[in-house]
Chain A
Amino acid sequence: MIRLYLVDDHRLFLAGVRSELEDRAEIVGTATDVDDAIEGIRETAPHVVLIDVHMPGGGGVAVIRAIAETNPDVRFLALSVSDEAEDVIAMIRSGARGYVTKTIAADELAEAIERVHAGDAVFSPRLAGFVLDAFSGGQAIELDHDLDQLTAREREVLRLIARGFAYKQVASRLNLSVKTVESHVSAVLRKLQLSNRHELARWASDRRIV
């Protein structure tokens, strides 16, 4: 069973997620602020942390960065109501392996957690849209670097995700295996985390993480 840790400053939401996921994962702890979360995660060493973007005391980014130093194996899935591209990209760039919105259904959330646990990336339609947007406008100058552009295949995969298809459906539409789709998405995640594209850099610097 996946050892899961929940971090959210809204207790009501925390309780809701807890009851939804209780029989699908072992919830080893919860926290409602940054400091408690860092301490709790270090103590319980969970597999996956479900983490809110906005929290008093530095937000999810602060937790991810602190844990990355001591427990690099812990994987993070960002869960938020925020529609702001900056917030979402900041979470991903500090190390989260995916982003889903809080309106996600319980089954999909459970599946996303498993996926993150397996080391894959989880893209909600919204995140796929952000990435396509950030990597669009191909006329940018520094496009010679591999990390700064998406391959045609990756673009297709993201487009289908943005259109609301699950990985399995994306795979069957493109005549690929689910594993291949996963590896495309993971590659995009890696680009998102490492790219120096100036749009991303600007987003990030607005949030003071570079």
Chain B
Amino acid sequence: MEPTGRNELVDRLSLWRRSEPRLLAGVAGGIADRVGVPAVYVRAAFVTLTTVWGIGILLYLLIWWLTLDHQASPFVRELETGQRVGLAVTFVALLWLMVASGFVPDPFATFVTAAISFGIASVLDRSESGGIARLIMPGETQGVSVFRFIAGVVLLMVGLGLFFGTNRVTSSLGSTFIAVALTAIGLMVAFGPWFVRMRDDLGKERLARARQEERAEMAAHLHDSVLQTLALIQRTDDPRRMSSLARTQERELRTWLFGKAPLEEGELLSTALAAAAARVEDERAAAIDLVTVGDARLDSRSSALVAAATEAMVNAVTHSGSDRVSVYLEVDEGRAEVWITDQGNGFDRARVGRDRKGLAESIERRIARQGGTAAISSRPGEGTEVHLVLPGVESVTK
């Protein structure tokens, strides 16, 4: 649970983190979309502020905490050039004010960082050029504005010049390191944007391909199952067969659409019982309503329970004269119970021939061998109910 104070603040600010494209958490991107400037400048501002007692990093973390989850930004504003200039002036004034009030520990480092980071930002900025750039280069419509590019390079040169022009920096760093760092920065500025674009295109392509494959799989499945069944139904005259086909298809499609992934370690009693009920439905053209509460792992003992229940289902659909059988499984504290109920003719146990092995062998003895019990109650005209109990199963909680 998060404190409500934070939630209220988040609601009031309604700032989002940007999901794509982003560098870290998408904080700068979110602010950029909200304010209406390219994200590179916001990042530059964060970097600059980091030189002042690390405010940049703290601010970044604070805003990260106060923003809502990644999301494609709800709206993206575009600022007028005048507003952009105003924003830049405000930022510079703010820095100046902090320097003047003695708040900045190392004004030199701050200004060098500002020059370098904003210089890089304006070189990297690929958004459409604003009014001033158009005044200078009237034909330009997109890409890096020459004005901005020149301004960026000048800033960079001033910043780097200041940085390396002072002995105290150069002497503390090895010249090899500086050379490597400079090469890296140069490569990044030159090829960075191109690399990012390549990566984005690749991602989009991969997504498109995944979607296409999914659609193809869906089409294949529908063809193999649903269309085939519909064709079969059209060629069938027997209404029982028709509804049996429809029911099988419905069950298959439902498993495919809403199906739960099987447990990693072994099968479940409920799924085994569902599969058994499905087989009986298909073979005997009857409807079996299965309801399960709780679940257990399938082992040799609970498999015997499934086998006995299956026999009871087959008996019900074969002899009851009713085409609907209800099966209810309940597992509670290591005890599994299954009821197989039909609303059919019912029978008198005493009048069932001794040669009919179904009831005695398949149901009662099978369950008894596993330490369980089977109770069969039926009266002519009132349907039949088989109640199976198997203690000592391994309950599974979801």
Within 8 A of B (CB), among A115-133: 125-126, 128-129, 132-133
Query: CB within 8 Å of A: which residues of B?
Result: 250, 254, 258, 287, 289, 291-294, 324-326, 328, 330, 332, 339, 341, 343, 397
CA distance A165 to B343 in the complex (A): 9
Contact B397 A164 (CB under 8 A): no
CA distance A159 to B339 in the complex (A): 10
A136 interface residue (CB < 8 Å to B): yes
A78 interface residue (CB < 8 Å to B): no
* In the complex, chain B residues whose CB is within 8 Å of the CB of A128: 291
| Contact flag A162-B291 (CB < 8 Å), given A125-B326, A136-B332, A137-B397 | yes
- The size class of the interface chain A forms with chain B is 10 to 19
Query: CB within 8 Å of B: which residues of A?
Result: 81-84, 103, 125-126, 128-129, 132-133, 136-137, 159, 162-165
**Cβ distance B19 to chain A, nearest Cβ, rounded Å:** 20
Could you count the A-B residue pairs with CB atoms below 8 Å apart for me: how many are there?
45
Q: List 7 A-B contacts (CB under 8 A).
A: A129-B291, A129-B292, A129-B328, A132-B293, A132-B330, A159-B330, A164-B343
* Highest count of chain A CB atoms <10 Å: which of B289, B292, B397: B289
Is chain B's binding surface mostly helix, strand, loop or mixed? strand
**Cβ distance B11 to chain A, nearest Cβ, rounded Å:** 17
| Contact flag A125-B289 (CB < 8 Å), given A84-B258, A163-B326 | yes
CA distance A164 to B288 in the complex (A): 10
* In the complex, chain A residues whose CB is within 8 Å of the CB of B332: 136
CA distance A137 to B326 in the complex (A): 24
**Cβ distance B393 to chain A, nearest Cβ, rounded Å:** 15
CA distance A164 to B326 in the complex (A): 5
| Contact flag A164-B293 (CB < 8 Å), given A83-B254, A83-B258 | no
**Cβ distance A84 to chain B, nearest Cβ, rounded Å:** 6
* In the complex, chain A residues whose CB is within 8 Å of the CB of B339: 163
* In the complex, chain B residues whose CB is within 8 Å of the CB of A103: 287
**Cβ distance B381 to chain A, nearest Cβ, rounded Å:** 13
List the 10 closest A-B pairs by CB distance, nearest first.
A164-B326, A129-B291, A163-B328, A132-B293, A162-B291, A125-B291, A133-B293, A163-B339, A162-B328, A164-B341
* In the complex, chain A residues whose CB is within 8 Å of the CB of B326: 125, 163-165
Besides A137-B397, A162-B328, A164-B343, 8 new A-B residue pairs in contact (Cβ under 8 A), listed by A number: A103-B287, A125-B289, A125-B326, A128-B291, A129-B291, A132-B330, A159-B330, A164-B341
CA distance A81 to B287 in the complex (A): 16
* Highest count of chain B CB atoms <10 Å: which of A83, A129, A137, A164: A164
Select one of B287, B294, B328, B330 contacting A125, CB under 8 A: B328
- What is the chain A residue whose CB lies nearest that of B326? A164
* In the complex, chain B residues whose CB is within 8 Å of the CB of A129: 291-293, 328
- What is the chain B residue whose CB lies nearest that of A82? B258
Contact A136 B293 (CB under 8 A): yes
Contact A164 B289 (CB under 8 A): yes
Contact B258 A164 (CB under 8 A): no
**Cβ distance B268 to chain A, nearest Cβ, rounded Å:** 14
CA distance A128 to B290 in the complex (A): 12
Select one of A84, A136, A137, A165 contacting B341, CB under 8 A: A165
**Cβ distance B332 to chain A, nearest Cβ, rounded Å:** 7
* In the complex, chain A residues whose CB is within 8 Å of the CB of B291: 125-126, 128-129, 162-163
- What is the chain B residue whose CB lies nearest that of A105? B324
**Cβ distance A175 to chain B, nearest Cβ, rounded Å:** 16
- What is the chain B residue whose CB lies nearest that of A163? B328
* In the complex, chain B residues whose CB is within 8 Å of the CB of A133: 293-294
CA distance A103 to B323 in the complex (A): 14
Contact B258 A159 (CB under 8 A): no
CA distance A164 to B325 in the complex (A): 8
**Cβ distance A127 to chain B, nearest Cβ, rounded Å:** 9
* In the complex, chain B residues whose CB is within 8 Å of the CB of A164: 289, 324-326, 328, 341, 343
* In the complex, chain B residues whose CB is within 8 Å of the CB of A82: 258
* Highest count of chain A CB atoms <10 Å: which of B287, B325, B328, B341: B328
Contact B294 A159 (CB under 8 A): no
* In the complex, chain A residues whose CB is within 8 Å of the CB of B330: 132, 159
| Contact flag A159-B328 (CB < 8 Å), given A83-B254, A164-B289, A165-B341 | yes
CA distance A162 to B328 in the complex (A): 6
* In the complex, chain A residues whose CB is within 8 Å of the CB of B258: 82-84
* In the complex, chain B residues whose CB is within 8 Å of the CB of A84: 258
CA distance A82 to B326 in the complex (A): 19
